[in-house]
Amino acid sequence: MAQAQYHAIEDCEAFNKALYKFYAAVMIIIFILALPLNASVLHLFVTKLKFWKSNSNNIFLFNLVLADILLLFCLPVKAHNFIQGERRSANDFVCKAMLFMLFLNRGASIAFLTVTSIDRYFNVVHPGKKNLLKAMKKSPQISILIWLCLLPLTIPTMLKTFECCNSLNGQINNGTSEDALIKEVVDIVREVVFFTQILIPFIILVYCTVHIVNRLRRKTVGDKTKLRRAVFLVTSVMVVFSLCFLPCTLARMMLLIARVQEWKEITEDRAAQVFDGLMVLSYMDCLLDPLIYCFCSTKFKALYLNTYFPFFLKEDIALPETSGSHGQVSKPKDDNNVL
């Protein structure tokens, strides 16, 4: 029984099919809720805000929403696999394409989240200093560079066994010692990519958030409501990042330990189920990102309500200027720069 269960893990078969059907239902709910929300926000960035002409960091936010939408399109495929009792597609091409999309777009979502936080850090903590990011954020070059830098990081993750966490498993080395060495190096590289993609941005976010909160708390003049909104915003970023990405990182660490230490197969299977469940939780980021980054701006919220739900719009809320030629009127430094 134990040996059969072990092969089920190797073949990426979902041992507890009822649990994976529940995971699939959660992903479908996330997809249904997040897709229209992200699509409507993307529509506003293109048609109303004209992000490419903006003097704010709307270019970063546009790319963040775009990455979340592309990631959302992977969820129906993942949900179908889970319903079929598979942890990933049995088709090799579909499996690798899914891994490419998942890691590229999730990495892009984390990257633009981090870059936007760094930009806000300089605006709040060092408002008078010039920096390269501040100069480049008005053009799409830095966004294109981020996407291009993420492409090489997806190469070691596009391996068939990665998603089922067969890394660092000596029991499947059937080739020569040279083949085993190559496999071990590839395993280490792809795990380093997985962990650094989350842990390094988390450290940067912690640093930026702590300094922003301290700076805002020391500020004694200005709009108190705006200051409280800014503190709430950066704190929410940390909460969402911790909720969506840190649990799956810790679960993967435990799963790797289970494989390296050769724990009992039943224990490893349970660790795999926990890891898959927390990976599903990480997709909640696609639903929470637009709520935090876009709707914490009173002007963006008013524009969104005026466009899609005008009967909810209060008369005393001013709409934002959508033309790049009215920068003096909208003064977007605090409101349009929603992070």
Write the CATH number for 132.
1.20.1070.10
pLDDT at residue 173, as a whole number: 46
For 292, the domain range is: 2-330
Residue 338 lies in a domain: no
Tens digits of per-residue pLDDT, 129-163?
A: 766 666 666 667 788 888 998 888 787 666 656 66
Instruction: Give the global pTM.
Output: 0.81
Residue 336 lies in a domain: no
Tens digits of per-residue pLDDT, 204-222?
A: 989 988 888 888 777 766 5
DSSP assignment string, 165-216 = T-TT-GGG--S-HHHHHHHHHHHHHHHHHHHHHHHHHHHHHHHHHHHHHHHH
Residue 68 lies in a domain: yes
Tens digits of per-residue pLDDT, 63-120?
A: 889 999 999 999 999 999 999 988 888 777 888 888 888 888 888 888 888 888 887 7
CA 89, CA 111: separation in Å to the nearest integer?
Answer: 27
Residue 138 lies in a domain: yes
Mention every residue, 6+ apart, whose C-beta is less than 8 A from residue 187.
167, 168
pLDDT at residue 69, as a whole number: 93
CA 92, CA 159: separation in Å to the nearest integer?
Answer: 9
Residue 337 lies in a domain: no
Residue 289 lies in a domain: yes
Residue length of the chain: 339
Q: Quick one: tokens of 170? A: 């000596």
Residue 335 lies in a domain: no
Number of domains the chain contains: 1
Residue 50 lies in a domain: yes
pLDDT at 260 exceeding the cut of 90: no
pLDDT at 20 exceeding the cut of 90: yes
Confidence of residue 265 (pLDDT cuts 50, 70, 90): low
